[in-house]
Amino acid sequence: MISVVVGLLLYSMAMLVAAPPLLRALTSSGNAPRLGVVTWLSAIGTVVGSWLATAVMVIVEVISHWTHPRTVAASCLARLQRTISGDAGIAPQITLVVIAAAFTVAVAIIGMRLAAAVLGMRARAHEHARAVRLVGRHTGEANVVMVEAGKAAAYCVAGRPPAIVVTSAARAALDDRQLAAVLAHERAHLAGHHAVIVSALRALAAVFPRLSLITEGAQQVSRLLEMCADDVAARRHSSRALLSGLIALCTVAPAEALAAADLAVLARAERLATPPQGSAKVKTRAALTSVIAVMAAGPLIAVADCIRRSHVWGPGMRADPNTTVGLIAAPSPSKALGHSASGKVVSMMMMMDDGHWGWGSWLLTTGTTIVFWALVITAVVLLARYLLSLSQRPTGTPRAAGASNAEQVLAERYARGEIDDEEYQRRLGLLRQNMASTTTT
């Protein structure tokens, strides 16, 4: 049981460290937005799931050993408690009560805060949808209402029934074709229940504001969901209609609007202007699929590894409650590095320590395990990307991709205001010339 808990915790720590930068790199292109959403959600889901499993197992363990406080887990916990407080006088049962109560309360509080956040968002959205229906003028189309407003905006809000709101200024800015594409985009959000995903992630981000995996995940998933909706709308109408709708609505964007620059719109526009190549899509999909596979297998491998380890060293350690604490710290990255070697290192450390496991060595082994998992995930991603880029090199796409990358960088610098109109034009012209000459030769 302890091994399982340790395995899950180590997995989740490795994910918190390694996942955000990797997933950001893999999903930023928007080549496979749906799979990108799945990847972020499974990363967050497995981490939250392993915490929940951990908490439940600790509570179950404590309760099941209630009548025998001198058993392995109890002694182990008591020993831990002694290590922290330096006080051996407290009865094990009090420690157990405190630990079980702390975990139960923590799970309950987090669960309640999540539920409150989700339900609150849902209630506000439904209220907004209802109010908009009362205030707005109904158009011929189902669920589409027009609201008088000077600001151009189009959005959808979940509710029973949901509503798609187009302001009068937006209606005036769009022609019929563009409006149809914009409405298809919003309908795709409603049909895909994107609001549910976004609210769940925002609630998690509000409860765990310091975990970049979750806060960044919430942002990236919203961005990817926009691209998913773009794809649906572009398929149903045309990417030209959608792109010109995007431009029309940006053009009438209010002068006094707030918030920081969000280049997500630019990324979406670029995707619509030059849809991702088939090969690039395949490449991203393969990379994302392998990441999902690693994340799905991760907790299982981590747990199996720890259980195996506890069997290897188990008997001797179980006999002595003092060294059982060592079990918690024992798992180390052995899969790829050869476990006999790392096993020796660990047992040597234990001997030096005379069975008394210090926090320093605990941190050391935990740290190496996190690094190990980070390396495994990175290796899989890099391998997938490398293999795919190898298979595509002969077709000449990397060069074209390089050229469009350069234009993207240029556009971003321009959008950030680092270069002015003239310089942007000049550099773009040069880049295009350069690309034309390399493709003709």
Binding-residue total with another protein (CB under 8 A)? 71
State the DSSP string of 13-40: HHHHHHHHHHHHHHHTT-SSHHHHHHHH
Residues 6+ apart with CB under 8 A from 96: 62, 65, 66, 69, 74, 77
For the CB of residue 235, give the shortest distance to another protein in the complex, in Å. 17
Q: Does 225 bind another protein (CB under 8 A)?
A: yes
- Stretches 46-54, 79-87, 131-139, 433-441: which one binds another protein (CB under 8 A)? 131-139
For the CB of residue 424, give the shortest distance to another protein in the complex, in Å. 8
Residue choice 4, 9, 73, 158 for contact with another protein (CB under 8 A): 158
- Stretches 18-26, 70-78, 147-155, 304-312: which one binds another protein (CB under 8 A)? 147-155
For the CB of residue 112, give the shortest distance to another protein in the complex, in Å. 17
Q: Which residues in 360-419 contact another protein (CB under 8 A)?
A: 411, 414-417
Residue 69, SS3 per DSSP: coil
Q: Does 135 bind another protein (CB under 8 A)?
A: yes
For the CB of residue 46, give the shortest distance to another protein in the complex, in Å. 24
The packing angle between helices 33-64 and 194-207, to 10°, is 50
Query: Looking at beta carbons only, is 111 or 254 nearer to another protein?
Result: 254
- Stretches 11-19, 222-230, 296-304, 368-376: which one binds another protein (CB under 8 A)? 222-230
Gyration radius of the chain's alpha carbons: 27
Q: Return the amino acid letter for 97.
A: V
- Return d(Cα 100, Cα 339) in angstroms, integer: 34
Residue 139: closest CA among 170, 93, 115, 111: 170
x/- letters, 161..190, toward another protein (CB under 8 A)? x---x-x--------------x--xx--x-
Structure-token match 């053009």, residue found: 251
**In Å, how far are 11, 14, 350, 371 from 17, measured between CA atoms?**
10, 5, 27, 9
**Within 10 A of 117 (CB to CB), how many other CB atoms are there?**
18
Residue choice 52, 80, 131, 387 for contact with another protein (CB under 8 A): 131
For the CB of residue 250, give the shortest distance to another protein in the complex, in Å. 5
Q: Which residues in 77-116 contact another protein (CB under 8 A)?
A: none
CA-based max dimension of the chain: 83
Structure-token match 């060069």, residue found: 399
How many residues appear in the chain? 441
For the CB of residue 186, give the shortest distance to another protein in the complex, in Å. 7
Query: Looking at beta carbons only, is 25 or 135 nearer to another protein?
Result: 135
Residue choice 3, 75, 199, 334 for contact with another protein (CB under 8 A): 199
Q: Which residues in 260-289 contact another protein (CB under 8 A)?
A: 260-262, 264-266, 269-270, 273-274
Q: Does 198 bind another protein (CB under 8 A)?
A: yes
The number of helices, as runs of H, and strands, as runs of E, in the chain is 16, 4
